[in-house]
Amino acid sequence: MSSQVDVPDRSLPLNPAAPERTAAPPRRRARWKPARSTLVSLLTIAVLLAAWWGATALALVPPLFLPPPADVAHQFWAVSVDGFADSTLAEHLGASLARVFVALIATIIVSVPIGFAIGLSPIGRGIFDPIIEFLRPIPPLAYLPLVIIWFGIGEPSKVLVIAIAMVAPIVIATATGVRSVSQSRVNAARSFGATRLQVLRYVILPGALIDILTGVRIALGAGWSTLVAAELVAATRGLGFMIQSAAQFLVTDVVVMGIVVIAAVAFALEAGIRLLQRRLVPWAGKD
């Protein structure tokens, strides 16, 4: 009797009826498209900065019209520490953000119910739809003289001009979101005995929340772009007031610094709203 143990040949299948072991699927390649787009964006910004620096270093454009990047960076530090027009950069930024967010909160409180009325009721649509379609194509700055006549040159007039720019995007987005809610979900909720208020709270509102937040995002951009013009009305603090004051004294580096700060804050607000959208409506795009 042999003491050796026959070792089966691993190269052959033990059971001919069993399916052959297939090779492991190739590992998915890492998604490189966002990284490439980010790299391209950074490269574009670097090229623009290099062109800016080159134009000023070669004196192609006088510093009065286009100050060097170093001067703008110096003014950023100087205004942050010493201030400009009796306020530091943080105080100007805080005043502008306060106006925009007060206008945004007031607009959400008014516009979301109007959007629900347009989306749910023919009577609501008949009342509010012509008003929104009348307001929507008119630039908010066209209302500025009338707003000053009605409310003076104080803070209410500035907030109101910014709010007017935000109304139409939120109303239209809310109405679109309400109308896009699946009717089968509404009928299912009603078949389980849900009241009208419960259907509104637990079915329609979550379904429309994606579009509402999209409208808030668009409205925030519109309000922020209206901010500078609104702060030209007898303001004593704010980014728009700072830019206007610097322009009157031909301090171009402060003007450019203010524009860069406005763009950076707008980018940060956009990123914040996108993050909030992902947190509040994680089911977006998974329907």
pLDDT band at 14 (very low <50, low <70, confident <90, very high): very low
147 Ramachandran zone, left/alpha/beta (phi>0; psi -120 to 50) = alpha
- 148, amino acid identity: I
> Which residues does residue 87 pair with via DSSP β-bridges, in sequence order?
84
Of 53-57, 59-63, 92-96, 245-249, the range with the lowest mean pLDDT is: 59-63
* Residue 32 pLDDT exceeds 60: no
Of 264 and 16, more confident:
264
Residue showing tokens 């620096």: 53
pLDDT-derived band of residue 27, with 50, 70 and 90 as boundaries?
low
The mean pLDDT value for 5-10 works out to 45
Share above pLDDT 70 across residues of the chain, in percent, rounded to a whole number: 85
User: How far is residue 173's CA from residue 230's CA, in Å, rounded to a whole number?
Assistant: 25
Whole-number Å distance between alpha carbons of 177 and 212: 7
Q: How does pLDDT run across 141-151, given as a tens digit for each residue?
A: 788 888 888 88
Handedness of CA 147, 152, 153, 159 (dihedral sign): negative
- Cα–Cα distance measured from residue 167 to residue 283, given in angstroms and rounded to the nearest whole number: 26
Domains and CATH numbers, the chain: 52-280 (1.10.3720.10)
Distance CA 159, CA 146 (A): 14
**How far, CA to CA in Å, does 96 sit from each of 170, 223, 253?**
21, 11, 20
Dist CA 52 CA 46 (whole Å): 10
Cα 221 from chain centre: 6
Q: What is the pLDDT of residue 19?
A: 46
3-class SS of residue 87: strand
Summarised one tens digit per residue, pLDDT across range 254-280 is 999 999 998 899 889 888 888 888 888
Helix axes 155-179, 205-230, angle to 10 degrees: 150
Regarding pTM above 0.85, the answer is no
The reported pLDDT for the residue numbered 82 is 86
pLDDT for 34 equals 60
46-77 per-residue burial string, b: 16 or more CB within 10 A, e: under 16: eeeeeebeeebeeeeeeeeebbbbebbeebbe
**Is the separation of the CB atoms in 235 and 159 below 8 Å?**
no
What is the Cα Rg of the chain in Å?
29
pLDDT higher than threshold 60 for residue 15: no
Apex 105 CA angle, 99 and 108, nearest 5: 135
